[in-house]
Chains A and B, each alone.
Chain A
Amino acid sequence: MTGLSLALTGFVLMLVGIFLRMPIALAMAMTGFFGSWYVMGTPNAPMSQLKTLTYETFSTQSLSIVPLFLLMGQFATRTGMSAALFRAASDWLGHRKGGVAMASVGACAGFGAICGSSLATASTMGQVALPEMRKRGYSDTLSTGVLAAGGTLGILIPPSVILVIYAIMAEQNIVKMFMAALIPGVLAALGYILTVALYVRLKPDSATTAPRVPMQDRLRTLAATWPVIVIFGLTMGGIVGDWNWAKPGAQALFTPNEAAAFGAVATGLYGILAGRLSLAGFKEAILETAKATAMIFFILLGADLFKGFLALTRAPDLLATWVAGAGFAPIMVLLVMLLAYLLFGCVMDSLSMILLTVPIFLPVIEVLDFGMSPEETAIWFGILALIVVEVGLITPPVGLNLFIINGVARDVPIARTYAGVAPFILSDLLRVGLLVAFPAITLWLVGVVF
């Protein structure tokens, strides 16, 4: 068998396993393990690799940022920051038609700035914003749809766990990736707000208006969001710039790992000092972090084995050479890949998808000429992939955010949530088109800072 067909066989078998409910991490690990065995004729190499691979994967310097960001997000969900953000946003926007839905988007964006996970953002904001929207007579369709969509801002707006993992796989600078995600993230929030505005114009009875809140109160509730502003400012502001103090230009205060550690400590301390983080809440935060961390690192371990097998087959190189030689238009190749992400996103979780596809897609993207430097191309592709993968979180049938919101609003039939999220998916797709057409939107801020 040639390398390419071998890799393809492995890939297909892995997908069969995944669809038969095999844990994804395990499907990757087994494909990697047995594939390497097949190529080398003996299981000795992957076996002896495993003597140190597990420990070394788990102790990878750049990965220690992941549990720290997860812990920070867990603390943040338990310290009332989400409620403060929502209160402020709804005081400023709530009087407009559909304003509370817009405020939910704003609050999700704000929460995304201290939490790197979409699911945590969706569930936290769902608990805060859903009751309020219902109290004010917003339709179930709009209120569940906007929260499911708003949740994806958790991962688009830095910090973002998936972006960290993409950066590590693509060997890109994490800080640059975060910078690149910022403007697309803000665009996403604005797009969602615009979607709400159009939606309530087309369906006027899906939302209500309310009297304006006096400016004094608005300023007071805005001021109450200071912990979010301070923590985001310090963690994300602190990593911008160069880490080499001898060089001129912007100086970073921390490395990204240090920023994550600082963020976790600051969020936890704030919770304790403000009396919001009880011992029970703290323990719960630890257990949730434990579950998510172990899940992610187990997948990373599987992906390591899978990547080893792919490298043995040389399939990524072969594929890249073939695509480059076949003379496809680069933009068409990119669109096909994004379409594949969209389709798979309907059934798979975002992290696994990134881990499975980046080793195959990125080498292909890197040999194509998009008129950018290799680094810029990798950053741009990463942001596009992240957004498209996140669309999967809100597309039926397996959009996890939809289930999370459905779990918060148990009496709303899931079909209504599906209908509610559709306009936001449209807004996502338009944004992807915009970012594909104008890479500068993504790359401009990176260029300014570095």
Chain B
Amino acid sequence: MAQNPLERRIEGAARAMAYGGGLVLCAMAATTVVSIVGRMFTGMGLGPVPGDYELVANGCALAVFSFLPYCQLKRGHVTVDILTSRFPKRIEAFLGFLGDVLISVAAVVILRQLWFGFGEKFPYGSDTLRDRLGMGYKPFFPETTYELQIPVWILYGLALVAALLFVIVALYTVWRSFTWVLQGQEDHA
């Protein structure tokens, strides 16, 4: 398992974020159940939780974002190993390394484009500052969710934090799988 401080810290951060996402997931489920109960007693002054649908959908998005780093750390993404498991161990490890490199590229692209998306939803900041940060034109009105009017930039902002950790973890896995190539075979993720 994780030996040096950096590894331990990265594993800790990915775990903590996954637990956070798990709590969001549990909260979503609980909200839905409260909403169902509320709806059953509509006649008696209770009612469904307002905006329960959008809470669940956006909660799901944030949970998924926060699960990405942990999944990458544990090599959770599906690969087909049937052919490569017959290759020499070092080549197999090298192909795993390439996979991690490509995941990192994808993570960077996702983060970068999500940042632009955030810029399109974020209605603050002076033009010069926005320009310097690559945030594009200020939107004329802040986009919000339908029922609860939650500004979408807040949701994107939270997703950005997780996407950033995804990039960090992905880069770390590149380094890790590189050491595996040097070592001649893969270790346990």
Contact = CB atoms under 8 A, between A and B. Distances in A.
A398 B79 CA distance: 11
A61 B18 contact: no
A410 interface: no
Interface string B34-70: 0110000000000000000100111111011111101
Contacts of A63: 60
B156 A67 contact: no
A21 B99 contact: yes
Given A22-B102, A26-B103, A54-B110, A349 B71 contact: no
A47 interface: yes
B13 interface: no
Given A26-B102, A55-B114, A61-B53, A398 B82 contact: yes
Best-surrounded residue of A290, A292, A294 (most CB of chain B within 10 A): A290
Contacts of B65: 58
Interface string A75-93: 0000000000000000000
Interface string A54-74: 110011110110011001000
A265 B29 contact: yes
Given A23-B77, A258-B32, A51 B103 contact: no
Contact of B25 (A61, A253, A289, A294): A289
Contact of B155 (A55, A71, A295): A55
A9 B109 CA distance: 24
Contacts, number: 179
Interface string A298-333: 110000000000000000000000000000000000
B57 A23 contact: no
A72 to B, nearest CB: 9
Contacts of B114: 50-51, 54-55
B113 A59 contact: no
Nearest to B96: A21
Nearest to B56: A64
Interface in B113-135: 113-114, 116-117, 120
A264 B32 CA distance: 11
Contacts of B19: 283, 286-287
Contacts of A64: 28, 56-57, 59-60
A265 B92 contact: no
B10 to A, nearest CB: 15
A287 B56 contact: no
A204 interface: no
Contact of A261 (B29, B92, B117): B29
A231 to B, nearest CB: 13
Contacts of A48: 113
Contacts of B120: 51
B68 A298 contact: yes
Contacts of A182: none
A257 B117 CA distance: 28
19 contacts: A20-B83, A21-B99, A22-B102, A23-B78, A25-B77, A26-B103, A51-B114, A52-B117, A54-B114, A60-B57, A67-B64, A253-B36, A254-B36, A264-B26, A290-B70, A293-B63, A347-B80, A347-B82, A398-B82
Top 8 nearest A-B pairs (CB, nearest first) are: A286-B22, A294-B71, A59-B61, A261-B32, A51-B117, A64-B60, A294-B67, A58-B61
Given A55-B156, A71-B29, A348-B80, 11 more contacts: A23-B77, A61-B53, A64-B56, A64-B60, A68-B28, A261-B33, A265-B29, A289-B67, A294-B72, A297-B64, A297-B67
Interface of A: 18-26, 29-30, 47-48, 50-52, 54-55, 58-61, 63-64, 67-68, 71, 253-254, 257-258, 260-262, 264-265, 268, 283, 286-287, 289-295, 297-299, 347-349, 351-352, 397-398
